[in-house]
């Protein structure tokens, strides 16, 4: 079973966009990942806001077994830096069942963002948003930066009902937001139903 689509989930939950200068706020979010109703892993996020800077750490582990044997393994770690509401830097490492990828995003000298990945180096507009679903602004974008491969993905988004949105194009998934917060993810992959369900008992640092 292949879960490359999980790469779209390398990040967190929404932050307050306004905060008193010099104030600090930490938020933790976690999802338990299910495949056809069976738990297979987790997706955890830690958000730290300090003044005008926001740091987001993502930790995702997926292990699929069959008859007691591991048939698929996914690991993803990433760190985002946002300043004044804009992405400034991103680093990620992904092991998708033996397929290793790394990504680095940093400011360029001309105001663009420089993306360095296994595919090489290129520049993207400074207002580009990553496929980190914590930021509900992704719902209004036609292009997003894949936080695993560094590719630019073309997407279309339609609002369904009760806080659910359908994203199509280079992404095919449904994402939930409740009161502006990322609250779930659902997609089909090779006949399997994959669901991300909130589970606050699994937040980073929880015993």
- pLDDT in tens for each of the 207 residues of the chain? 444 444 333 333 333 333 344 568 888 878 999 999 999 999 998 889 898 899 999 999 999 988 888 889 999 999 999 998 899 999 999 999 999 999 999 999 889 999 999 989 999 999 999 998 988 999 999 999 999 999 999 999 999 988 999 999 999 999 999 888 899 999 987 788 999 999 977 665 554
Residue 92 domain boundaries? 4-202
List the beta bridge partners of residue 72: 64
Q: Is residue 22 part of a domain?
A: yes
pLDDT at 128: 95
Q: Is residue 207 part of a domain?
A: no
Q: Is residue 130 part of a domain?
A: yes
Q: How many domains are contained in the chain?
A: 1
């Amino acid at each position: 079973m292949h879960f490359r689509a999980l790469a779209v989930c390398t990040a967190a939950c929404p932050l307050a966009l306004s905060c008193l200068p010099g104030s600090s706020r930490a938020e933790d979010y976690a999802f338990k990942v299910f495949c056809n109703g069976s738990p297979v892993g987790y997706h955890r996020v830690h958000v730290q806001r300090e003044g005008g800077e926001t740091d987001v750490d993502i930790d995702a582990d997926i292990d699929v077994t069959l008859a007691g044997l591991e048939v698929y393994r996914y690991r993803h770690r990433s760190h985002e830096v946002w300043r004044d509401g804009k992405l400034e830097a991103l680093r990620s490492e992904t092991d998708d069942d033996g397929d290793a990828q790394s990504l680095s995003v940093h400011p360029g000298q001309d105001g663009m963002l420089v993306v360095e990945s296994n595919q090489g180096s290129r520049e993207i507009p400074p207002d580009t948003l990553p496929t980190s679903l914590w930021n509900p602004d992704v719902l209004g974008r036609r292009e997003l930066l894949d936080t695993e491969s560094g590719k630019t993905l073309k997407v279309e988004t339609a609002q369904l009902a009760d806080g659910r949105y359908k994203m199509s194009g280079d992404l095919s998934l449904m994402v939930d937001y409740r009161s502006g917060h990322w609250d779930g993810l659902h997609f089909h992959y090779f006949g399997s139903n994959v669901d991300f369900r909130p589970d606050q008992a699994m937040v980073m640092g929880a015993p």
